[in-house]
Structure 1
Amino acid sequence: MKKLISAALTASLLLSSTAGFAASASFTPPPPEIAGKAYFLYDFYSGRTIAQMNPDQRVSPASLTKLMTAYVVFKNIKAGRLKLDQTVLPSANAWKTGGSRMFVDPRTPVTINDLIHGMIIVSGNDACVALAETVGGSSEVFVQMMNREAANLGMRSTHFNNVDGLPDANHYTSVRDLATVSAALVRDFPEFYPLYSMKSFTYNHITQPNRNLLLYRDPSVDGMKTGYTDDAGYNLVASSHRDGRRVISVVVGTASPEARAVESSKLLNYGLQFFDTPRLYAANKPVSTVKVYKGSSDSVGIGFQHDIYSTVPKGTASQIKVQMTTTQPLIAPVKAGQAVGKLTLTLDGKTIAEQPVVALKAVDEGGFFSRLFDTIRLWFA
């Protein structure tokens, strides 16, 4: 059985959280025209897609591949299987890798930390191969790890066949999937994300710039990655953090380094200028209580395990309508984090978000007599 919690209660909670967004609705134009093969604009905090074109079309990622290469490397560091100060001797295979390079020397040990800088800041293909061989034993095994992580993240239109993004007919992705891995990097590895804002890196007495032109033009842009091959065109994933919001854009298949920067800037500014992303509910704060039967406590606070945001056209946050349902009867034992209901947000009659509502604390089974009493009560409920 589903029970509808008072609309007045949930609405008052929402309005108290969005008082600063109660201005009258402003004009929301359509997305700008983007000169590329495909694009995707994503709000990091709400998880909402703001604008898209050909989101699931198969595209060549070029060096945007290195977003997943980095994700797998960071995961191994976090698990303790790799250390930043660990040194490795690059193989001849890494040294011979073509395309952009950080210029490793097969006779000179290099730290994992330097390889990561070389991969992210100057897009070194040699760094990618050296890291892959260290983590996976070979690039081929590392690619299997990349595809496994892609599946875990829900990247349904992606298949990797190398670690650096050099052209390969069986190496492809989509702009939606690129937004997914980009957001995962920011969310799962915030300690490494600042590397994506670094403007240059020096190794082997060679200083190379970061090719993301927006880092030099827009102080709110703090990442993420460029890519180019003849087949892919000029690609860019960019992230802007401004006024408490983070918006991620993916643009692929543009005609030049300047074009990918200009088109990405248009998308980022569109998302930030014409939309708001208010926080509606705070993590681990009860929004209501529900009755618990046969438990050591007769009620439990319910809410969310993470902050709840919603991206809406600027000035419309106060018009969001809230409906919360809970599953009844709720019978102990109840685990902390157990889903006990659903929050539905609507705007102009359309559902804009749904989130599970969870028990914020555990409730153990009650004693024999309290369970017996509640069993009798449920007969007449």
Structure 2
Amino acid sequence: MGALLLQVPAAQAATAPVPPEIPVALLVDLSTGQELFAREPARRFMPASVVKVMTTYTAFRLMAEGRISPNTRYEISPELEKEWSGVGSTMFLKAGERPTLGEILLGATSVSGNDASVALALASTGSVQSWLDLMNANAADLGMRDTHFGSANGYPDHGRTFTTAHDLARLGEAVVTRYPGLYRRYFGHRTMTWRNITQQNHDPVTGRVQGADGMKTGYTNEAGFTFLGSGERDGRRLIMVLAGAPSGDARDQAARALLEWGFSSFATRELAPPGTVVGRARVQNGDALHVDLRAPRGVNLALPVGGARVKQMSIRYNGPLLAPIAEGDEVAVLHVEIEGQAAFDVPLAATEAVGQAGFFRRIVNGLAGFIT
């Protein structure tokens, strides 16, 4: 452990309004990195149509890289219509129609079109399998270690598609933070009209909880009722996951209550602004014995409203750190423990470069280590 300069008091937990019949629930505060509530967050489950958030993320990434354009038109084939139009949630795409990729993407995000998701895959990569390869590569890139996609739309696939609340929260964070403009463009629409057919978005929080702006519900007999949602209020962005709810009403009520609880029951406390030096770490074989550590994104805590206290904070790293170290390298974490919540880590970076020690400096370092 390193020397810690911050000192704070310790904490009371609040009780989240998630009924026990919902087996998986998670609420994460992205502004602090904290899990405000967690129930079985590492438990694997089938996400149903929440899969479409990864389909959307994959499209966002291709758009950002210039590999596809939302203005490109794609002609719907008779085979696609026969296999998917009218199957489960649908955009009602018909053979011969030429919607843009942007319209198809809205069909996936707003009315959960199974046909739209497959059309997007075919239009972008030429085959569903190539699209699935991209989805799984993106999951690996995001660190979604307990996730696999065997479907582009979440339709039942004999268990080949699975995930966890932890992994979906990572995905939700990536969607809103990496592509905020695209997120606002394609999520949060209450309705969509295609071919004079207007359908409602089943998102239970957008327009109902202040600050809520997406993302996606899901349901199959095997999965139960699921939801990955988000909202932002007063500079705080929350991500929530519910899975395995016994009914749509139970999921929707819990989603609204949990998101509102997260916003109203916690207040953000800034302990250190971005760039603040919060401690130091020992260095081995360097031209300095120690390096100061700063919090690039600052140190913020979401604490229960009214008499909140923090339990413990400590600097942790695998040390001593081995030189050379570049300025800005994330070499340690500030480990924060709050009663009633999962512990979390704030990344810490080196404030300056530390080069490798020369011959005489290694002798001095060795003597210093021997003396101490």
TM bucket normalised to smaller: 0.7 to 0.9
CA contact (8 A) 1:337 1:359 kept: yes
Q: Aligned partners of 2:291, 2:70: CA distance in 1, in Å?
A: 44
1:235 to 222, 226, 230: 226
CA contact (8 A) 1:129 1:163 kept: yes
| Aligned equivalent of 1:336 | 327
| Aligned equivalent of 2:54 | 68
CA shift for structure 1 position 164: 0.7
One-letter amino acid matched to 1:185: V
CA contact (8 A) 1:278 1:309 kept: yes
One-letter amino acid matched to 1:118: G
CA shift for structure 1 position 253: 3.2
CA contact (8 A) 2:214 2:230 kept: yes
1:185 paired to 2:175: yes
Q: Aligned partners of 2:114, 2:149: CA distance in 1, in Å?
A: 15
One-letter amino acid matched to 1:125: N
Once the two structures are aligned, what percentage of the paired residues are identical? 32
Q: Aligned partners of 2:327, 2:79: CA distance in 1, in Å?
A: 50
CA contact (8 A) 2:207 2:213 kept: no
| Aligned equivalent of 1:377 | 364
CA contact (8 A) 1:104 1:127 kept: yes
SS at match of 2:207: helix
Change (3 A) 1:252 1:105: same
Q: Aligned partners of 1:327, 1:232: CA distance in 2, in Å?
A: 41
| Aligned equivalent of 2:124 | 135
CA shift for structure 1 position 62: 1.6
1:235-314 aligned at under 5 Å gives the runs 235-287=226-278, 302-314=293-305
One-letter amino acid matched to 2:89: S
1:75-224 aligned at under 5 Å gives the runs 75-96=61-82, 97=84, 98-170=87-159, 171-194=161-184, 195-224=186-215
CA shift for structure 1 position 70: 1.0
CA shift for structure 1 position 150: 2.2
CA contact (8 A) 2:77 2:95 kept: yes
Q: Aligned partners of 1:163, 1:117: CA distance in 2, in Å?
A: 15
One-letter amino acid matched to 1:10: L
One-letter amino acid matched to 1:90: I
> What value does the CA root-mean-square deviation take over the aligned residues?
3.4
CA contact (8 A) 1:25 1:315 kept: no
CA shift for structure 1 position 83: 1.7
Q: Aligned partners of 2:219, 2:318: CA distance in 1, in Å?
A: 51
CA shift for structure 1 position 380: 3.5
CA contact (8 A) 1:325 1:342 kept: yes
Q: Aligned partners of 1:178, 1:264: CA distance in 2, in Å?
A: 15
Gaps of 5+ in 2: none
Q: Aligned partners of 2:320, 2:155: CA distance in 1, in Å?
A: 57
CA shift for structure 1 position 307: 3.7
Q: Aligned partners of 1:273, 1:144: CA distance in 2, in Å?
A: 41
CA shift for structure 1 position 331: 7.6
> Which piece of structure 1 moves more, 72-81 or 212-221?
212-221
> Which piece of structure 1 moves more, 276-285 or 39-48?
276-285
Q: Aligned partners of 2:40, 2:54: CA distance in 1, in Å?
A: 21
SS at match of 1:114: helix
CA shift for structure 1 position 132: 0.8
Q: How many residues align?
A: 362
CA contact (8 A) 2:219 2:226 kept: yes
Q: Aligned partners of 2:342, 2:177: CA distance in 1, in Å?
A: 25
CA shift for structure 1 position 199: 1.4
One-letter amino acid matched to 1:313: P
Query: Could you report, residue by residue, the CA deviation over 1:226-276 in whole angstroms, capped at 9, with x for unpaired residues?
Result: 112233333222223223322222223334433321121222233333334
SS at match of 1:88: coil
One-letter amino acid matched to 2:228: V
CA contact (8 A) 1:84 1:113 kept: yes
One-letter amino acid matched to 1:243: D
Q: Aligned partners of 2:213, 2:36: CA distance in 1, in Å?
A: 20
| Aligned equivalent of 2:6 | 10
TM-score (norm 1): 0.80
| Aligned equivalent of 1:18 | none
TM-score (norm 2): 0.82
SS at match of 2:172: helix
Gaps of 5+ in 1: 16-21
SS at match of 1:178: helix
CA contact (8 A) 1:41 1:49 kept: yes
CA shift for structure 1 position 131: 1.2
CA contact (8 A) 2:12 2:308 kept: no
Q: Aligned partners of 1:157, 1:351: CA distance in 2, in Å?
A: 19
CA shift for structure 1 position 105: 3.5
SS at match of 1:278: strand
